[in-house]
Amino acid sequence: MAAAKALRNTPAEITLIDRTNHHLFQPLLYQVATAVLTPSQIATPIRSILRKQKNTTVILGEVTGVDKERQCVFVSDADREGVPVPYDYLILASGATHSYFGHNEFEEFAPGLKSVADAVSARNKILQAFEQAEAEDDPSRHRELLTFILVGAGPTGVEMASALAILVRTTLKSDFRRIDPASARILLVDMAPRVLPPFSENLSAAAKRRLEDLGVEVRLGYSVDRIDADGIVVAGERIASRTVIWTAGVAPSPAGKWLKVETDRAGRVRVQKDVSVPGHPEIFVVGDTASFEENGKPLPGVAQVAMQQGRYAGKVIHRRITGRTPPGPFSYFDKGNMAVVGKGFAVLQSHKVQLSGFAAWLAWAGVHLQFLATSGLRVAVFLQWVWTYFTGQRGSRLIVNHHGPQPLKAAEEIPSKTAVA
């Protein structure tokens, strides 16, 4: 998206191909999963964003391969497979997916959080757990139904755990009659020695204290041995749970296999200083799909890296087409890292600046509002945040099963002295 916008004044035909019809702001997915925001508040139709860009065509389809010699990509959609789409210049920004570190069998029982569908599914699962517990006559089953486990203590895991803690202890506290939502158990598990490893030790410790103040159990230094339908096994201990969410590592798209070029150990394409593929100056790879080192260290897989590389690749192509001097090597401007840890608290690290608390939370809110795709979304999200902050009410607590089961047949007999509405 950043590259397409950078090419808006270029005398060329731009084709943007995506498997979805919307541009998603992934850092706020956890707020959809915990019912703070609706999907439409963090995602915008791509055509709407680029509607004034007359040189750009949008295609809904999934790229499944690249032919470097023929200079085309292969695109599949609902009706056709492997349709070749030619290019003169190619920018691959195909992102990343969940990594289960060799335990792909975990995926069935611990889905990740990378798309709108993932977030809605997680929201369904969380809200259904409370509904099932309310209807369950056996109190001994409430514990496993109301135990929520997040595997991975990076920014996504920390933000998700804290938002879930706020949900169960404030928003839901007066909605149920047979259960106490505040009795829910929330666990954050990671084999790392501390939460938020990219942050300083002081900020990491502040985030951990905040999580524990919210009632989150933090278990560090232990890997997950097993995940199944009944819960997880950590350090030999079985923890019963019906809701496990994977917030750990990521794996790049198969772009390296498509291109048949050198990749790093994770499978990311090793690119040159202008983010192009060695031997193919017409092909650029950016974001989570690219391996780019600066000052001897690989750049992190965060949104601002992808956006800056996308704009840079667009700038390189624009200057080539218009016959101007190409820009210098790509240089990443690190704006810092942020993570929110519940209501009114965040941690912020930017070079030597380190903040935690309400001031960091205000900065986090301002930055995230700025990066939303349209001004309409910024206003809608800001108003929802203000409303939620003061009232505790969430934007969307709907359980939406698009292919849910058919209604059960009516019971033949209803027990006496029971009122059923």
Catalytic site positions: 159
Closest CA to 178 of 155, 147, 146: 146
The alpha carbon torsion through 119, 123, 129, 132 (nearest 10 deg) reads: -120
Rounded to 5°, the CA angle 286-245-373 comes to 40
Is the Cβ–Cβ distance between 232 and 239 less than 8 Å? yes
Q: Taken in order 405, 410, 412, 415, is the CA torsion positive or negative?
A: positive
Is the Cβ–Cβ distance between 246 and 106 less than 8 Å? yes
Q: Tokens 């470097």, residue?
A: 68
List all residues 6 or more positions away from 420 whose beta carbon is below 8 Å from its beta carbon.
414
CA distance 187 to 193: 15
Q: Tokens 């998206």, residue?
A: 1
Closest CA to 228 of 239, 218, 236: 239
SS3 content of the chain, % helix, strand, coil (to 5): 35, 25, 40
Between β-strands 297-298 and 346-350, what pairing exists: parallel, antiparallel or unpaired? unpaired
Buried b (16+ CB within 10 A) or exposed e, 64-102: ebbebeebbbbbeeeeeeeeeeebebbbbbbbbebbbee
CA distance 399 to 397: 7
CA distance 66 to 85: 10
Q: List the structure tokens of 196.
A: 């938020």
Task: Locate all alpha helices (DSSP H) within 214-354, ordered by sequence.
Answer: 255-259, 303-321
